[in-house]
Every structure is written in C-alpha cells, then in structure tokens.
Structure 1
C-alpha cells in the first residue's frame, strides 16, 4: 500500500513539473513574440493616428482625438467641466467667454444651454478612440499602390519560378548523380554563400551596363536562371531523404531521369519546394538595393520597396501616411505566410535547415 502511494505521489509530482515547464515555456514564447511584434504593433497604431496625434510628444500611444459635437449646424469641442456641486461633466462649448462661458450637454441638447463660471481655457478637452482609417486610402491613392504591387508581383513571381526550377534541377543532380568532381563543384557552390554581395556589385553593374540592361528588370531576373546556392543546399538535403527505391521502381517501368524527376521527385518534395518558393518570394518582395541600382532613372517600373522609399522622401513630415503605406505593403506577404505556414515549416524541419 505504501509503495503504491509513493508511486502515485511521484507521478503527481512529475505531472506538476511537466505542467509548470509547459506553462513557463509558453509564457516565455508569448513574451518573446510580444517583444518581436512590438515594432509592428507600434507602426500599425501610428498608421491610425492623425498628423497632430503623431507630432504630439505627450500624446497617447493609441489613436485618439478630441471629441466634438454637432449643435445647430456648428461643430463644438467637448471639455471636462467641473461642476459647482462636485464632479465633472462632459459638455460642449457653445459660447466661450473670459470669466463665464456657455455649454450644452451632448447627451441632452434639448435641455438648453448651461452657464458656467470660470476660464474655459483651463479645461481639459475630452478625447476618445478615433482611428483614422482614411490614412490607408490616402496612402493607397498617393503612392499608386496597384502599379507598385503589379511590378512587385511580376518581379517576385517570375524570379521565384526561375530560381526554384533551376535550383531543383541542380540540387537533384548533386543528390542523385555521381560524376567526377562532384564534391569539389558542390563545395565551390556552397562557398559562394560566403562571398559578400558588395564584392560582385561593381563588376555585375559594369557587365549589365555594357549589355544595355540598366533600367530594365533583366539584371534582376536573368541571374535567377542559374540557381542559388542556399536553395540548392536546402533542396539537395530534402532530395537525399527521398527513398531511392521510388526512383528504381520508376526506372524499371521505363522512366528516364527527366521523367523520374518530374513524376516522382517533384511531388515528394512539395514541402521543400514551397519553403524555397516562399523564401525567395519574401526576399524579392522586400528587395530594395538591387532594384534601386538597376532600375535607376525608370521610376515607373520600380517595385514596392523602392516606391516606399520615394514616398517616404516626399512625405517625410507625415509619418502616419508612411507607416500606413508600409502596413499595406506588408499585408500580402503576411497573408501568404499564414496560409502556407504549415507546409512552409514542414519543409524547413524535414530538411534540417533553420533560417
């Protein structure tokens, strides 16, 4: 009996420890997520403020503004008015005076005006939550968002297709075919990851300038036809986890390497291909420096990252509009990630690559 009791107590203590560990882990994850999302939350709140609310150093963190009341065709400000009997009432100022003013109760305007003795300039205005949703409409129209989004989608989707196809072909070659110098070639390919982009920037620009490609999307799209080292590595790791028996069965059925790759490998590698596609889509959507460099002088075809920089330069005194435009630019990538999150995470976990 005593042994059973001790065993039950030990099991209860283990459950309590596991529950406490789970609670601490969850709390830590929530705190980390809150810290990570804090700048995004601040940007979203600021995008909903008006210009005065953004410029006020002592203003509220939330998008608030002074309350007003329509009375007899006029817009009146609402103040917190102390009453002679004690307490305060929220009244709309009808007729200001130096020592005596006239107010009206917004909740009961039919009762007439209220005379109040005192200096109305000492009163605190009543504020309330007033998000300025019109900031998004104004930013949308001012920045010509549809044009920027169209060019950005063209750039992101085209380069995503090219880099996924070329990287998958190269990765399949390194994963399944044996040829002289395979290890050396793969090592050289991986070494290009360590090469800083600034080293190749000037030579690439000089080559593209001689070819007459500056001012077009060709310098941004054509290089994606020749694979990407990181994508090749990720896909190669995934291809190596696919059982070779599937390819052998396809070969017995008469399928060649190309047909085996298309009919057997590609369907099995859908999670990894999705992860690579989303990696590149997000990269291209947020790409700024290379489009700024290669599309210089042709502002009509710039993607959204460069367009936002131009918008920020013109409207640098209106940060609420800048942040509204940034939130609009962020909406589509976030929506795509949320929709494809399960497949995206699975593709990363299975390959053993974390980024």
Structure 2
C-alpha cells in the first residue's frame, strides 16, 4: 500500500470510525427491531382508540367488519340506494352486485358497473352473502360527543385547574429547591430527607384527614382543595429541581453577589435562565398530572357539575353511552389532544430537563 493509500484509509477511518463487523450489525438490527416492537405495543391502544372513534354503529355491530372505519358498500340507481354484495355466479366468478329485490330462495341484483344490462336473477339466500366495505371515517362522532358531553365547559375547567396548579407548583417547588441547593442552615439534610420521605407515604393514608380538614373549613365543593396544595411544593419536583440546580456553578452566584444582587435577584437573573429545561419538565409533569387527575375532583367536587374537569365528566359520559364504543373513544381522543401536543412541542426541552445535566464553566 502506498503512502497516499494509507493516508486515504486513515482519513476514512477518522471520519466514519472503525468498520462494523457482521455480528455488531446483527445485534444493532435486533435491538432496533425489539425497540420498535415495544414502541408499537405501547402505541397500540392509542391506534385502537383513534380507529374505533371513527367507526359507525353499523360497523361496530358487525363481527366481521374490517379494522379501518368503513361502511357497507352501496349503489344508487334511479334515486334509490341498494346494498352491494359479493355474489358467486354459475361461471365460477364472484362479482360485486347491488341487491334490488331480496328473496328467500331467489333474488335480483344489478351490476353497478353496467346497470343498463338489467336485473340479474340469482338462486339462493342473499343473507349468506358477504358485503364489501368502503373506507368511510365517521367524523360526526366527534361533533356529537362535543355537544353531548358539554366539552367546552369541561375543557375550560380542566385548563384552568391545570394551569393554576402548574404555576403554583413551579413557583413553590423552585423556591424550596433553591433554598436546599444554595443555602446552608442547621438541619438542612434532615429536612430534605424528611421531605423525600413523604414520597413513600401512600395517598390513602392522608386522604381522610385531608378531606376532614377541607370539609371543616368549607372548601369542599370548590376548587380550593385542588389548587391551594399546589402552592406548598411537593417532594418529587423539589428533588428534581434541586438536583439540577446543584449542577449550576456557584461561581455565577458569587459574581452576582459581588455586584450587589440579592438572593431573589440571583435566582431570577442567574439561576432560572440556566434551569429552564428542568422547569419545563416540571411544568409538563404537573400539567399532565393535573389534567389526568380523576380521584381528587371526584371527591371534592361531587354534586357540582359546573366545576367538574374532563376526566370526571368523561367517566360519567362513558357510563351513560357504554353501548357506543365509538363515542367513548372519541371522547378519549379529544381529551388526549392537548397533553400530547404539549409534549410534542417541548419534547427536546423535556428530555433535557429529565436527564440532569450541568453547564460548562
């Protein structure tokens, strides 16, 4: 090999790395296939909901109907709509013919592709024939659910509850996490450990005492039991924020203190601009949790239909229209739109906030 060839080979290896052997390529392909299969398994319920939400009651009642939303094929002749069937003919072929005159032993059909041919007599029971299906998504399901469930009112209540809870959680947890990450005071480690211990406290243990307190002060039947606790921080988000704030160099704080900045000014001007990925992550966590919360609104808002969020309203709707799966799945899809859109828009920032990473000094 000449010097020029060696130089080209080294350059190629430098650009692309060492060549992969067949075993490594096979392992990569198997892992990729496994991960794709797992992803499809997780997404399968969502696909089922989306497809079912567009089906008509006729298709749902048919056991042999296709998976995609479809309607039985029809043919309009002389202003009248006729059902189309697969009809076996004496010559051994099967054609799609429209049933004009049904009979117990003999029926008359017409060929949709050549109606001028006239009626075609067929011996046998038309009830044993299969029908072709044509793709026909029923978008009217969403419009009907929108009105039946009073979706605008439930959506307004849910958005307000989720936004206020998110604001309260981000504000309170940021302040508490900033205190644990930046200030040294007696008992800091013990208090932080005690705070983390509340994560392992089952919600059923505090449910009755909390409800009793809120009931005695007259908050049951209002949004206050759902909103006020958000302004008093929680252990999980405080831990997530604190761990991220610890990665921000203290040199920046000291430089700001030399310039005369107060602790709150340092938090606002130095720390928060660098902590926005974890703040976005906490915001999405809180928003989605509040959006999907069912148990707390069910307990505290019982008997106040004008204050209910989507999850409680949707559960009641499902109980009424349990015989119509298309309506139920349409309501589920409508409820998922905003959280999914929020995650798609901020997924990069969200993942960056979850993966606790520091900044370069």
The normalised TM-score by structure 2 is 0.91
1:200 aligns with 2:219: no
Tell me by how many angstroms 1:57 deviates. 4.1
Deviation at 1:347, TM superposition (A): 0.4
1:213-271 alpha-carbon deviations (Å, 9 max, x no partner)? 11110000001111111000000000000011111111111111010100111110000
CA contact (8 A) 1:47 1:320 kept: yes
> Structure 2 CA distance, aligned partners of 1:142 and 1:220?
26
* 1:63 paired residue among 36, 60, 69: 69
Aligned residue number for residue 125 of structure 1? 131
Aligned to 1:187: 193
Alignment partner of 1:142 is 2:148: yes
| 1:236 alignment partner, one of 239, 242, 261 | 242
TM-score, normalised relative to structure 1: 0.92
Kindly indicate whether residue 160 of structure 2 is the aligned counterpart of residue 173 of structure 1. no
Corresponding residue of 1:114:
120
Q: Would you say 1:304 and 2:317 are equivalent positions?
A: no
Q: Does the aligned pair in 2 maintain the 1:149–1:304 contact within 8 Å?
A: yes
Aligned counterpart, 2:85: 79
Give the stretch that moved more between structures: 286-295 or 243-252: 243-252
How many Å apart are 1:42 and its aligned residue? 1.5
- Correspondent of 2:218 among 192, 208, 212: 212
Asked if structure 1 preserves the Cα contact closer than 8 Å seen for 2:66 and 2:133, the reply is no
- 2:53 alignment counterpart: 47
Partners of 2:202 and 2:102 in 1: how far apart?
67
Helix, strand or coil: the match of 2:47?
helix
- 2:301 match: 295
Secondary structure in structure 2 of the residue aligned to 1:245: helix
- Which of residues 22, 43, 53 is equivalent to 1:16? 22
* 1:116-157, Cα deviation, whole Å (9 max, x unpaired): 343323322222333222111111111111111110000000
Report the Cα distance in structure 2 between the residues aligned to 1:240 and 1:47, rounded to whole angstroms: 47
Per-residue displacement from partner, 1:47-71 (whole Å, max 9, x unpaired)? Answer: 2222233344444333233211121
Give 5+ residue unaligned stretches, structure 2.
none
Equivalences, count:
346
Deviation at 1:97, TM superposition (A): 2.9
Q: CA-atom RMSD, angstroms? A: 2.0
SS at match of 2:355: helix
Q: Distance in 1 between matches of 2:322 and 2:125?
A: 38
